[in-house]
Amino acid sequence: MESCPSIKNILLLDSEGKRVAVKYYSDDWPTNTAKETFEKAVFTKTQKTNARTEAEIAMFENCIIVYKFVQDLHFFVTGGEDENELILATVLQGFFDAVGLLLRGNADKKEALENLDLILLCLDEIVDGGIILETDANVIAGKVASNSLDAGASLSEQTISQALATAREHLTRSLLK
Amino acid sequence: MAQPLVKKDDDRDDEAEYSPFLGIEKGAVLQEARVFNDPQLDPRRCSQVITKLLYLLNQGESFTKVEATEVFFAVTKLFQSRDIGLRRMVYLMIKELSPSADEVIIVTSSLMKDMNSKTDMYRANAIRVLCRITDGTLLTQIERYLKQAIVDKNPVVASAALVSGIHLLQTNPEIVKRWSNEVQEAVQSRAALVQFHALALLHQIRQNDRLAVSKLVTSLTRGTVRSPLAQCLLIRYTSQVIRESGSTQTGDRPFYDFLEGCLRHKAEMVIFEAARAITELNGVTSRELTPAITVLQLFLSSSKPVLRFAAVRTLNKVAMTHPMAVTNCNIDMESLISDQNRSIATLAITTLLKTGNESSVDRLMKQITNFMSDIADEFKIVVVEAIRSLCLKFPLKYRSLMNFLSNILREEGGFEYKKAIVDSIVILIRDIPDAKESGLLHLCEFIEDCEFTYLSTQILHFLGIEGPKTSDPSKYIRYIYNRVHLENATVRASAVSTLAKFGALVDSLKPRIFVLLRRCLFDSDDEVRDRATLYINTLGGDGSVVETDKDVKDFLFGSLDLPLVNLETSLKTYEPSEEPFDINSVPKEIKSQPLAEKKAPGKKPTGLGAPPAAPLSTVDAYEKLLSSIPEFANFGKLFKSSAPVELTEAETEYSVNAVKHIFDSNVVFQYNCTNTIPDQLLENVTVIVDSSEAEEFAEVLSKPMRSLPYDTPGQTFVAFEKPEGVPAVGKFSNMLKFIVKEVDPTTGETEDDGVEDEYQLEDLEVVAADYMLKVGVSNFRNAWESMGDDFERVDEYGLGPRESLAEAVNAVINLLGMQPCEGTEAVPNNSRSHTCLLSGVYIGNVRVLARISFGVDGPKDVAMKLAVRSEDEGVSDAIHEIVASG
């Protein structure tokens, strides 16, 4: 274990195990079929666990997988069997929180697909070719969002659903006051 | 910590299937991508199309070469837009498409412009994209910018350059190595992640230079490291330095204080990394372990599953070597048995099984029985393996453990799980004599209702060996003969073999076995009939109570002392002819296992395990190669080929290694040469060998290689004559001689005129071990006793001061070139004495066995007693001579 900590893949699946966004950094799964088999196996193995308050962990095919769920989104980060589990968990938490921030607290599959560009950019900012780039959710989200903000994405540029979500959020807040 | 599942919003269910990508189709999206070519670019629209393309790729769709090229060219047009969001998507798209070299040129200038842009985000991303898609030639052009970027004040830009450096180091090490000054500077950066990336790169640049790594670690462990990730890296590098520096005589281990200090770090990942590093130190003492165990124990009761898992997994490993150190955690472990996460529970159980004492076994077994019903097979296997080692540790407890195993054997389970149980029972029977009878009966009961042919046949085979030696062999016959009625042909055939073994060993049962075997003559399967016929004939035919011949016993029970792989290849090459197949022509050399073996999923071979898949035979390849060269035809049969010996350092212009082929009265050196210079062609390559230090050898011929192009390995041979059957030794100095011709790298044309040149290689030695074949025996004691002490030679030797006992044992094994048997090459840590069993075949086909007892004498001095038995007096003496002169 003299090497740099490395990530084998990051998966974001829905509540049926289908892909929302995935990114592989290692050659352990050379074909798309191999990837899908792996995702299916990971999903089946973890779907019954309760990984909503705290990240959970499992060992599988000589890999360590840490995972966390919210709504109908399942987040996974995979590393080698000798990897420091807590480093993987930190990456997972960074990804999980950054997605939460980018989707403005409405982290679910629909929102994720509607903002898939943000999710993909987010993956791109967390890990580069297996090497951890950044783990702080605020920094990650900041880097991703800066683009859309710089581009002058004002309220008018938001998608309808985003606007609705924001509106709903405002409404609930005022009602709760 | 359990919380009810968050319910999905009800109103969501109606639109559950809604997705912005519903009904998306590759063809349509590719059509849409035409907007990239519009003179008036709509950034939002273009971003959406790119997202769709990325979505398709992400879902596993692939583009054809033409499609990818088209998309790529269209995307490059988007560099015209100044929209930052769109630019980000363009970067992402280019990375996903991984364009070919001629396409890369199109975007290079745009990316280089971005690399020098004022916007940091552009710079960082352009660096990452360009480095991802670039090749060596382009890299030299942008190297200057990358060096600047590494020390850029913006951490994102610096990190992008450093991470790209880490990737590029794999493909273009010579370029990246030139950046070490800048990287060194970046290590001092105030930005946490820049420091992490710089440290990773700097270490990789210097990893082959121990001194530099040691210096790096020394300076950083004194200073401050800001990022927890960088601190983890530093811990890894520190343990590497500790490992390589070897243990100091007494007193404190260097850097141990640093590791221990990290246990008080504020980040959990650092604490854990340090604790794990301490537990993995070579020959760690219990005093060193204590602080690490203490923090891990705290983690055991954490609310975070990841922490509990990490801690219990590490403690589990510690328990294998230092069970006493972990006993303090037993109470916390026991509470983990009911952990929601089954991986954690299983690890806790197996740790407890390792650390438990004799009195706690029964209580533990009770807890496990409840636990077994609700875990998956893979976890059950782990538990079974732990129980097996527990039973070997406390043989007196075999009754309850054997009962446990037989109970779970009856329950539902897959093949791997059942196999683990059966393997465990077999091992217990073998190692605990008291457990034999009950264990065999459990196995008999199991095959009465076993759905796995493989397990049935293995158990039958095992019964055939162990059953006849029990007090009442007849009680097993019923179980075995039932197989002949009820099972498939494979199992029936092995039941017949087992019956025959009972008949051969238990004379009183012979008449009855005969009756049973005769019935098998009418079986529907020919293999079963063949076996029955064969055994009836070998056992003596008339079915009376007589003693079985020794030959028959040898035939039934003797081990085939040939590797099956070799037999298989020999049988495959055998062509039916007048001459019958001669089993003595099968080579006995055990092939070294290829490295790939290690990488295979960590399944250890167990009791009944099938032999691992056969590696491709190198000996056969050599034999084929040599027999294709007419000059070597009259040398006779190849006795042995050595492993390749490197004659050049790594990364030199020409890389050469040599293989020594030993024949009865000849030796052939095969030089494998590789030319690593792209613009050179070597012709007429020979090796000039000076054998003045090898008196008994005379060069007979040299076979040059006509040409050696770049990166295509080729061979040249030199053959020597030596006195027949004599294990002559000597040292040879080598000089590579050739004609160099320049090659134009662009056109591939070769210049006509060449220059003669020479290249000094390292010396090659023929040593005594070259005359020894590694041939193992499965049961050393039997082999030793059957060899007899007629030609036994015993003597004692002092080996002088040695680094460790293990090192001394290894040195002797390598000196003799013999095959260590029964795992005796492994020396347990900290032991003061060791016995090593070796076996081999010496030139002239003489079998040799050696039993060597090592002892540590004084602080470091190692002494050994060597006992050699062989079929030839001279050979026994020769072995002693090797040791005496080595």
Six token digits for residue B331: 């109470």
- Which residue shows structure tokens 């636990």? B371
* Whether the Cβ atoms of residue B762 and residue B648 lie closer than 8 Å to each other: yes
Model ipTM?
0.84
* Whether the Cβ atoms of residue B314 and residue B276 lie closer than 8 Å to each other: yes
Instruction: State whether residue B143 sits within 8 Å of chain A by CB.
Output: no
Spell out which residues of chain A touch residue B276, defining contact as CB-CB under 8 Å.
84
Closest by alpha carbon to B131, among B118, B151, B149, B117?
B149
Put simply, the answer to whether B341 touches A72 (Cβ < 8 Å) is no
- pLDDT mean by block of 10 residues, chain B; 886 residues: 45 57 86 87 89 92 88 89 88 86 82 87 90 83 90 92 92 89 90 92 89 88 86 92 68 82 92 94 87 94 94 91 86 86 87 80 79 77 84 82 86 87 88 86 88 90 87 87 86 89 83 86 88 82 60 65 75 76 67 40 39 49 76 79 83 84 86 84 86 83 83 85 80 88 77 83 85 79 79 84 82 84 75 84 84 80 86 82 78
Residue in A32, A54, A129 nearest the CB of B305: A54
* Whether the Cβ atoms of residue A152 and residue A126 lie closer than 8 Å to each other: no
- Phi and psi at B670, nearest 5°, equal -105, 115
Nearest Cα of chain B lies from the Cα of A2 at a distance, in angstroms, of 5
Nearest Cα of chain A lies from the Cα of B141 at a distance, in angstroms, of 23
Size of interface A-B (CB pairs under 8 A): 159
Give the DSSP letter string of A109-156.
HHHHHHTHHHHHHHHHHHEETTEE----HHHHHHHHHHHHHHTT--GG
List all residues 6 or more positions away from B131 whose beta carbon is below 8 Å from its beta carbon. B139, B146, B164, B165, B167, B168
Put simply, the answer to whether B167 touches A22 (Cβ < 8 Å) is no
Please give the pLDDT value at position B598. Answer: 37
Nearest Cα of chain A lies from the Cα of B362 at a distance, in angstroms, of 29
Six token digits for residue A166: 């924001």
Put simply, the answer to whether B51 touches A131 (Cβ < 8 Å) is no
Spell out which residues of chain B touch residue A1, defining contact as CB-CB under 8 Å.
236, 239
Pinpoint the alpha helices (H) of B432-525: 436-448, 453-466, 474-486, 489-505, 510-520
The interface residues of chain B toward chain A in range 785-814, judged by CB-CB distance below 8 A, are none
Spell out which residues of chain B touch residue A134, defining contact as CB-CB under 8 Å.
159, 193
The interface residues of chain A toward chain B in range 65-104, judged by CB-CB distance below 8 A, are 66, 70-72, 84-90
Tens of pLDDT, residue by residue over B112-136, are: 888 888 888 889 999 999 888 887 7
Instruction: State whether residue A145 sits within 8 Å of chain B by CB.
Output: no
Best residue in B120, B162, B306, B343 to probe A by mutation, most A CBs within 10 Å?
B306
Best residue in A37, A128, A138 to probe B by mutation, most B CBs within 10 Å?
A128
Spell out which residues of chain B touch residue A153, defining contact as CB-CB under 8 Å.
85
Other Cβ atoms less than 10 A from the Cβ of B634: the count is 8
Instruction: State whether residue A146 sits within 8 Å of chain B by CB.
Output: yes
Six token digits for residue B320: 């294998």
Nearest Cα of chain B lies from the Cα of A170 at a distance, in angstroms, of 18
Nearest Cα of chain A lies from the Cα of B83 at a distance, in angstroms, of 6
- The H or E element that residue B102 is part of is helix B101-115
The interface residues of chain B toward chain A in range 261-320, judged by CB-CB distance below 8 A, are 268-269, 272-273, 276, 303-307, 309-310, 313
Other Cβ atoms less than 10 A from the Cβ of A86: the count is 25
List all residues 6 or more positions away from B297 whose beta carbon is below 8 Å from its beta carbon. B311, B328, B329, B332
Put simply, the answer to whether A133 touches B159 (Cβ < 8 Å) is yes
Residue in B1, B55, B306 nearest the CB of A86: B306
Residue in B3, B88, B303 nearest the CB of A121: B88
Instruction: State whether residue A160 sits within 8 Å of chain B by CB.
Output: no
Tens of pLDDT, residue by residue over B257-305, are: 899 999 999 999 999 999 999 999 888 888 889 999 999 999 999 999 9
Encoded amino acid at B751, one letter = E
Put simply, the answer to whether B88 touches A52 (Cβ < 8 Å) is no
Please give the pLDDT value at position B556. Answer: 67
Nearest Cα of chain A lies from the Cα of B192 at a distance, in angstroms, of 10
List all residues 6 or more positions away from A20 whose beta carbon is below 8 Å from its beta carbon. A12, A13, A14, A73, A109, A112, A113, A116, A119
Instruction: State whether residue A16 sits within 8 Å of chain B by CB.
Output: no
Supply the angle between the helices B873-885 and B805-816 in degrees, to the nearest 10.
130
Please give the pLDDT value at position B230. Answer: 93
Encoded amino acid at B565, one letter = V
Put simply, the answer to whether B6 touches A71 (Cβ < 8 Å) is yes
Instruction: State whether residue A1 sits within 8 Å of chain B by CB.
Output: yes
List all residues 6 or more positions away from B593 whose beta carbon is below 8 Å from its beta carbon. B612, B615
Please give the pLDDT value at position B589. Answer: 61
Beta bridge partners of B415: none
Distance of CA B224 to the CA centre of its chain: 37
Other Cβ atoms less than 10 A from the Cβ of B705: the count is 18
Instruction: State whether residue B836 sits within 8 Å of chain A by CB.
Output: no
Put simply, the answer to whether B1 touches A1 (Cβ < 8 Å) is no
pLDDT string in tens for chain A (177-residue length): 457 889 999 999 999 999 999 999 999 999 999 999 999 999 998 888 888 889 999 988 889 999 999 989 999 999 998 999 999 999 999 999 999 999 988 888 988 999 999 999 999 999 999 999 999 999 999 888 865 444 333 334 445 555 566 666 666 655 554
Put simply, the answer to whether A153 touches B601 (Cβ < 8 Å) is no
Nearest Cα of chain B lies from the Cα of A164 at a distance, in angstroms, of 14
Put simply, the answer to whether A135 touches B204 (Cβ < 8 Å) is no
Best residue in A69, A84, A91, A92 to probe B by mutation, most B CBs within 10 Å?
A84
Put simply, the answer to whether B83 touches A151 (Cβ < 8 Å) is yes
Distance from the first to the final alpha carbon of chain B? 66
Nearest Cα of chain B lies from the Cα of A176 at a distance, in angstroms, of 19
Q: Is the pTM of this model over 0.80?
A: no
Please give the pLDDT value at position B755. Answer: 85
Instruction: State whether residue A132 sits within 8 Å of chain B by CB.
Output: yes
Spell out which residues of chain B touch residue A87, defining contact as CB-CB under 8 Å.
229, 232, 269, 273
* Whether the Cβ atoms of residue B71 and residue B57 lie closer than 8 Å to each other: no
The interface residues of chain A toward chain B in range 43-62, judged by CB-CB distance below 8 A, are 49-50, 52-59, 61-62
Residue in A114, A128, A157 nearest the CB of B20: A114
